[in-house]
Amino acid sequence: MALNDTKTKNDMQDIKYVEEAEESVSTETDADRVAEEKALVRKIDIALLPCIWIMYLLSYMDRTNIGNAKVAGMTEDLNMSSDQYSIALVVFFITYVVFEVPSNLILAKTKPSIFLPTIMFLWGAATMCMAVIKNYGQLVALRTLVGVLEAGFAPGILLILSSWYKKEEQSKRFAVYISAAVLSGAFGGIIAGAITGNLDGKSGLTGWEWLFVSRTAVDVSRLREANTPLTDRGGRCHMRMGRHRVLHSARLSIEHEAPLRPRATPRDHKTSRARPHSQRRPN
C-alpha cells in the first residue's frame, strides 16, 4: 500500500513538472512572438511611412500651388478675374469627389504598387502643363484633370495601410500620413517664394511657371522610391522581409478573417428537396 502511495506521489510530481515546463515554454514562445511582431512593425514603419508621407506631401503641394502661383502673378498674366480664379479652385474638388468611386473600382482591379505611382506621374505631368497655359480655359481643364487623377490617391493609401497593419495600429500611422498636409501648409509658401523669387525670368519662364515645373520634377524623382515598399493584394510586396514574411502573412490572415456562416447555395436546396423524408433532420 505504501509502495502504491509513493508511486502515485511521484507520478503527480512528474505531471506537475511537465505542466510547469510546458507553461514556461509557452510563455517564452509568446514573448518571442510579441518581440518578433514588434520588430516586423518597426520594419514596416521604416519602409512604408516615409514613402506615403512624402507622396501625400507632394500631392497636397501640387493641389495648393495655384495659390502661390496667384501671388506670383499668374492671374494678371492670364487676365483672370476673381470669379474665374475661384472657379479654377472649385473644379478640382468637384472632380476629386466625383471620381473617388470610379478610382476605387479601378484600384480593385489593379495593383497598388502600379496604380499609385502611375497616377502620381500623370498628375505631375498635368501640373507641369500648367507652366505653358495661355488662358483661363486651359487652367480650368488642367485643374479638372488633376482632380480626376488625385481622386484615387487617398483610397489607395487607405488600402495600403489596411494591408500592412492591424486595425488598432492603423490610427497612429494615418495620423503620421495626415501630418504631411500640416507641414505642407507651414513650409509650402516659403519654398514657393524661394522658387518664384530666384527663378523668375530664367529660360524665358516667369516665377509662377517655374513653380509648376519644379514641383513636377520632384514628383517624377520620387516615382522609383514610391514603387518599392508598396504592397499588392494577397500580401505580395516588393519589400525584402525575409523571415518576417510568414509572420506578416499570419497577421493578415488573422486580421482579415471573417467568421461568417456559409450561405446555402441553390445546389444545397436542391439536395435537401431530393433527400427522402425519412433521412431529413427534424426541425
107 part of a folded domain: yes
Contact between 225 and 51 (Cβ < 8 Å): yes
Range of the domain at 55: 39-232
170 Rama class: left (phi>0) / alpha (psi -120 to 50) / beta: alpha
272 part of a folded domain: no
Tally of domains in the chain: 1
Contact between 253 and 261 (Cβ < 8 Å): no
pTM over 0.95: no
Where does the chain have alpha helices with state H? Answer: 2-71, 74-77, 82-98, 100-109, 112-129, 136-150, 153-164, 167-199, 207-221, 223-227, 244-255, 266-274
In whole angstroms, give the CA distance from residue 150 to residue 147: 5
Contact between 157 and 110 (Cβ < 8 Å): no
pLDDT (tens place) for every residue of the chain, 283 residues total: 554 555 555 555 555 544 544 444 344 466 777 787 788 888 888 888 888 888 888 888 888 888 889 988 999 999 999 999 999 999 999 999 999 889 888 888 888 778 888 888 888 888 888 989 999 999 999 999 999 999 988 888 888 888 788 888 888 988 988 888 888 777 778 888 888 888 888 888 898 989 888 877 776 666 655 554 555 544 455 455 555 555 556 666 655 554 444 444 445 444 445 444 444 444 4
16 part of a folded domain: no
In the numeric block, which cell numbers belong to residue 271?
Answer: 439536395
In whole angstroms, give the CA distance from residue 282 to residue 41: 51
Contact between 151 and 99 (Cβ < 8 Å): yes
249 part of a folded domain: no
Contact between 161 and 45 (Cβ < 8 Å): no
Grid-cell match 488600402, residue found: 159
Give the CATH number of the domain where residue 125 resides.
1.20.1250.20
